[in-house]
Each structure stands twice: as C-alpha cells, then as structure tokens.
C-alpha cells in the first residue's frame, strides 16, 4: 500500500513543467509577428547596406561622432535636427552574433528568428524554476514561477527580434546568480568560477544583465548567512567583474548621450535622478499590472501611472506585512533579498522611458512578492471582517490582472505588433506610388510634416528591403503631432509654423535631440542642398522654421511629400506667397 501524499500542481518538477508549457503556449503567437522596426535596420546592417554598425555591432544607432553622423543626416533617414554628437550605442556582441547567425541560417524568413527567441525564453523560465525549486520550494515558488512565465510584459522581449538581447542577457545572468547561490548555500566551490563565467557572458548580450547583478548584491546584503566580512568577500569577484565591464563599455565608446529617451546615470546624474523620480513609480505600476506603455503613447497618462505606482506600492507593502508572519523563516530570508533585488533592478531601467519590455528582470522578484500576496489573499478569503475581505478583494484584483488578463494579452499584443509590421510595409508601398523609383537615386525627398516616426524613419528602409533604391536624400522637416502652417517665401524657400505647440518637443523628436540641446532663434543647420534656420522660438522650443534649398522648389531633383490619410502623398509647391495649413491641404481642401 502506497502511503505517499498525492502530487499537487505546486510540487516540483510538475510546477516547472506546467510553467514551461504555459510559456510555450503563450509564446506561440509570436512566431507570426515577423520583422518590426529595428529588425529592418538590423537586416540592412547584416546585408552591408547601412552606414552604422556591423555584424557584431547591431545596436549602434548613433556613435557620438559628428563626422560619422553627417552622412545619415545628410542622406537620411535621420532628421535635420539630430544632435551631431548624439550617442545611442550599446555593446552587445553576443546578441549581435546570434542575430548574424540567424541571418546566415534563415535569411529573411522571420519564423526561424522567432523560434530561436522562444527557445531562449523557455530557457529563462527553466533557470528561474531551478532557482525557485531550490530556494522557494512549495506553493510559493511554484506560483511565482507561473506568474513570471505568463507575464505579458515579456511579449516584446520574446516576440520582437531586436529585443531578444534582453532575454539572452537575463537567462545567462540568472544562471550566474543560481550558481552563485549554489556556491554560497550548498558550499560548492566549483560553482563560483562557473557563476562568473555565466555573468561575464550575460554582459556581452546586453545591459539588462546588470539588473540581475542587483539581485546578487541584495542576496549578499540581506539573504546570505555569515559575517559582514564574509559577505563582502563573496560579492567582491562579481563587483570587480561589473566595474571592469563598465570600464570597458565606456572605453569602447558605448553609451547614450544627447537623447531624451536614453539617459546616462553616470554622465548625467542630475537628469537621470530627476527622471527616475517619475519613471520608477510608473515602472512599479507596470509590475502590478498597469499598462505602463501608456507613458510613451499618451503623455497625459504619466501622472496617473506615477500615482498608481505609489498607491500600489503602499497597498502591496501593507499586504506583505500582513502576510509576513505566515511565511517560514527560510521563505522570509529569500523573499527579503528578492524584493530588494527587484527594487534595485528598477534603477538601471529607469534610464530609459518606462515600457513593459524593460520589466523582465524586475519581474523576477516581483513575481515572488505577488505570489506571497496572492496566497495570503487565498488563505484569508474565509476570514470575517473588513480586514479579511479587503485582503481577498485586493488579491482577487491582482489575480485578475496577472492570471487572467496577462495571458490573454499575449495573442492580442502579438497580433497588434504583427499588424504594425504589416502596416509599415504597406505604408512604404503606398508612399512608393508617389515617387518614380527609376529617378529616385538622383532625387531628394522632402517630407514636410511626418506625423509618425515609423513613416518618417522607416519608409526608405522598407523601400531598400523591398528591392527599391535609396533616394539621394530623405529629409523629414517636422515630426510634430500638430499640423504646421506652410508658407512659400521664395522660389527656393519655405517656412513651417506652429500656431500652437512647439517643434522638437515630442518624445519622438527629442529621441535624437534632448531638450537640454534645444535650438534657439537664429540657430542654423546646414546640409548639402538645404539650410534650416530657427526663425522664432521660446524656452520650450522653435515655433517657426525656415528652409532654403539650393534649387527652386519645382526642380525635378526635389520631391515633396506631406501627411495624408493614406500616409504620405505628393505635394506640389504652390506659388510664392501662398500660405496654407498642411492639414487642410492633406485632406484636399483649398
């Protein structure tokens, strides 16, 4: 007679297999997402047709070298206001090499790239499962693993090929963390060099790995046993590795400067700290289930996201305090450093705009804390009084977001991204009908009022991938969401004016020139064939811009496009002295 207790879903390895199955099922829709945005630039780099980057340097979007930036601004698609010293360059040789391998194996067939990404994601879930099985066994670790596996914030790192570097870096760094714990907890000396090897490899995949280093530090500060001296000695090898990495990173010229999207915490500590005061609470809101991507899509939502993050932090903190006595001493010890690691790992990602896709590493610790809260709420559901009912209701809301809505979001978001890629391709084809590709290599295409960064930057990229030639130059003149007023001031000159709002004030515009480098009245930018002058401005940015070309506007070497319902349409320059709102012109009005 077998008296062994029956197997439960929360018993390992059953819980690990359930989480892996859930991760695989949810990741399946990403196989049809195709290429999107930066993927297209990476394809051109891998085919040797892009002026920046290389096969082992796919993530060099701007190198900080004015001479090197001149060509990509002169010929496009970077706009005229791009800061000459702009630097957006990330050292990710391993991630680049994996992309080059995909290109060699699969060419332009995106399915192979996506299968590769899914394998890495399953590996990440498996490594996290090994760590939780060892240090948070039972229902607590099992639920934390499942919450992590189904988190919809992971769709972009899994499904966007250009963002796979985050999954690779996190997987290798988490393996290094697990090996470090094996060295410290299980007293396995051989695990230390293997841990350092995995951590070093993770850093070559992407900066995301630094967030996992925060967990290792948090473990030695709050979770490890032993004296302070022992813990300092234990963390020293990893600290030396991190410092050496940062030194090499800077020495090789990588990093970010001049953009509002990416901030350098070391080079711009004041701006970083000021931004982090809002970004960190918004990221916390994202960890709790709020749609943090609204930060970039709807700037008006930012105060709400900050408020939700602060209120949610206070509420979850109160629930954790209530649940804490019900945990074992071992569970408390490991939850303590996982919580601190999640908090510390928010600091590196606060250097960029809050987005769900940057929550991969903070989500490791957050999943454990949410597991504590949800299990406490489940156990409190039958308690009487406002306290028990309040905990149960809060737990029910969190369960709805993380166990119901999060899995449902995977296929919906995958479909949206796929549609974005398809619409970008179709938009390029539509715009292509407005030009003569046979003459395009000798023509400068002037985009008067692009409203969408995808149209402004990726149209010539898509033309190249569709087998069409690059134009002689691609010059977006404005990227403001508001429609400017067009005035023809001379045979070869025009002006664009905003009755409301400012040029260079949106997130898209400031991604290539931050507000600290704003152009004032009288500022000039000279390209070969076009000179731009700021004619009117205030403290928030330019309001009127003048453009002087080297030939009359009717010259066949110039092609003018404007925003329209279909994307971009041909614009015939009106007579000198004509003034019109481009929004009216775009809809066919007088």
pLDDT band at 267 (very low <50, low <70, confident <90, very high): confident
Q: Identify the helix (H) or strand (E) that includes residue 560.
A: strand 558-564
Evaluate whether 392 touches 385 at the Cβ level (below 8 Å).
no
Is residue 47 in a domain? Answer: no
Last residue of a domain, one of 384, 418, 452: 418
Last residue of a domain, one of 396, 418, 440: 418
Same domain, 186 and 226: yes
Position 590 scores a pLDDT of 38
pTM of the model as a whole: 0.94
Tell me the pLDDT tens digit for each residue of 51-81: 999 999 999 999 999 988 999 999 999 999 9
CA atoms lying within 13 Å on the CB side of residue 86: 28
Residue 589, pLDDT > 90, answer no
Is residue 241 in a domain? Answer: yes
Residue 3, pLDDT > 60, answer no
Range list of H helices, 190-258: 191-205, 209-218, 228-251
Range of the domain at 244: 14-35+108-418
Is residue 19 in a domain? Answer: yes
Position 523 scores a pLDDT of 97
Is residue 57 in a domain? Answer: no
Same domain, 398 and 437: no
Q: What percent of the chain has pLDDT over 70?
A: 96
Same domain, 361 and 431: no
CA atoms lying within 13 Å on the CB side of residue 553: 21
Same domain, 22 and 112: yes
Three-state DSSP state, 58: coil
Mean pLDDT of the chain: 93
Is residue 268 in a domain? Answer: yes
Same domain, 330 and 439: no
Evaluate whether 326 touches 376 at the Cβ level (below 8 Å).
yes
Same domain, 562 and 547: yes
- Strand-strand pairing, 558-564 and 541-549: unpaired
Is residue 77 in a domain? Answer: no
CA 351, 355, 358, 359: dihedral to nearest 10 degrees? 120
The rounded distance, in Å, linking the Cα atoms of 252 and 241 is 16
Is residue 574 in a domain? Answer: yes
Is residue 71 in a domain? Answer: no
Domain count, the chain: 2
Report CA Rg, the chain. 26
Last residue of a domain, one of 418, 446, 463: 418
Evaluate whether 374 touches 399 at the Cβ level (below 8 Å).
yes
Same domain, 377 and 476: no
Tell me the pLDDT tens digit for each residue of 238-262: 999 999 999 999 999 999 999 998 9
Same domain, 192 and 289: yes
- Range scoring the smallest mean pLDDT among 13-22, 304-313, 566-575, 579-588: 579-588
Evaluate whether 360 touches 167 at the Cβ level (below 8 Å).
yes
Cα 408 to Cα 382, 401, 558: the distances in Å are 29, 10, 48
Evaluate whether 446 touches 560 at the Cβ level (below 8 Å).
yes
Same domain, 567 and 508: yes
Evaluate whether 291 touches 413 at the Cβ level (below 8 Å).
no
Q: What is the mean pLDDT of residues 183-199?
A: 96
Evaluate whether 177 touches 338 at the Cβ level (below 8 Å).
no
Same domain, 524 and 581: yes
Same domain, 264 and 116: yes
Tell me the pLDDT tens digit for each residue of 210-224: 999 999 999 999 999
The rounded distance, in Å, linking the Cα atoms of 245 and 209 is 11
Same domain, 456 and 574: yes
The rounded distance, in Å, linking the Cα atoms of 420 and 219 is 41
Evaluate whether 435 touches 429 at the Cβ level (below 8 Å).
no
């Amino acid at each position: 007679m077998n008296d062994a207790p029956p197997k439960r879903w929360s018993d390992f390895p059953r819980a690990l297999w359930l989480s892996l199955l859930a991760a695989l099922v949810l990741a399946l829709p990403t196989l049809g997402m195709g290429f999107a945005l930066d993927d297209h630039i990476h394809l051109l780099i891998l085919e040797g047709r892009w002026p920046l980057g290389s096969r082992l340097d796919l993530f060099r979007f701007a190198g900080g070298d004015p001479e090197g930036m001149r060509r990509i601004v002169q010929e496009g698609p970077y706009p005229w206001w791009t800061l000459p010293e702009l630097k957006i360059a990330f050292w990710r040789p391993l991630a680049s090499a994996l992309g080059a391998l995909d290109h060699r194996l699969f060419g332009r067939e995106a399915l192979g790239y996506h299968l590769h990404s899914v394998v890495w994601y399953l590996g990440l879930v498996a490594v996290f499962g090994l760590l939780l099985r060892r240090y948070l066994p039972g229902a607590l670790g099992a639920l934390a693993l499942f919450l992590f596996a189904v988190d919809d914030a992971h769709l972009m790192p899994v499904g966007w090929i250009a963002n796979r570097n985050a999954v690779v870096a996190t997987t290798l760094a988490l393996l290094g963390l697990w090996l470090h714990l094996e060295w410290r907890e299980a007293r396995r000396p051989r695990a230390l060099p293997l841990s350092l090897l995995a951590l070093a490899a993770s850093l070559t995949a992407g900066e995301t790995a630094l967030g996992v280093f925060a967990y290792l530090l948090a473990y030695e500060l709050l979770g490890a046993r032993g004296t302070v001296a022992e813990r300092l000695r234990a963390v020293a090898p990893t600290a030396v590795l991190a410092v050496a990495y940062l030194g090499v990173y800077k020495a090789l010229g990588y990093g970010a400067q001049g953009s509002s999207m990416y901030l350098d915490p070391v080079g711009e500590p004041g701006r970083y700290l000021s931004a982090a005061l809002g970004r960190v609470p918004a990221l916390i809101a994202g960890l709790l289930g709020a749609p943090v991507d609204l930060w970039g899509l709807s700037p008006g939502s930012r105060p709400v996201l900050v408020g939700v993050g602060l209120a949610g932090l206070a509420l979850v903190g109160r629930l954790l305090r209530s649940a804490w006595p019900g945990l074992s001493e071992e569970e408390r010890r490991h939850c303590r450093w996982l919580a601190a690691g999640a908090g510390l790992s928010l600091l590196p990602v606060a250097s960029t705009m809050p987005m769900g896709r940057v929550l991969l590493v903070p989500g490791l610790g957050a999943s454990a804390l949410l597991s504590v809260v949800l299990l406490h709420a489940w156990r409190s559901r039958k308690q009487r009084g406002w306290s028990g009912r309040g905990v149960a209701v809060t737990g029910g809301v969190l369960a709805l977001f993380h166990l119901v809505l999060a899995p449902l979001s995977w296929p919906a978001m995958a479909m949206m991204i796929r549609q974005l890629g398809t619409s970008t391709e179709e938009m390029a084809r539509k715009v292509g009908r407005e030009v003569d590709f046979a003459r395009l290599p000798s023509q400068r295409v002037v985009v008067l009022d692009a409203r969408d960064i995808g149209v402004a930057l990726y149209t010539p990229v898509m033309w190249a991938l569709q087998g069409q030639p690059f134009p002689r130059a691609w010059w977006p003149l404005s990227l403001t969401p508001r429609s400017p007023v067009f005035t023809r001031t001379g045979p070869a000159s025009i002006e664009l004016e905003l009755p409301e709002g400012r040029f260079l004030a949106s997130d898209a515009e400031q991604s290539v020139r931050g507000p600290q480098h704003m152009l004032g009245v009288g500022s000039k930018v000279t390209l070969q064939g076009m000179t731009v002058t700021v004619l009117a401005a205030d403290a928030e940015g330019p309001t009127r811009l003048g453009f002087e070309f080297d030939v009359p506007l009717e010259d066949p070497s110039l092609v003018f496009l404007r925003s329209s319902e279909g994307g971009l349409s041909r614009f015939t320059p009106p007579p000198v002295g004509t003034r019109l709102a481009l929004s009216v012109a775009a809809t066919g009005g007088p």
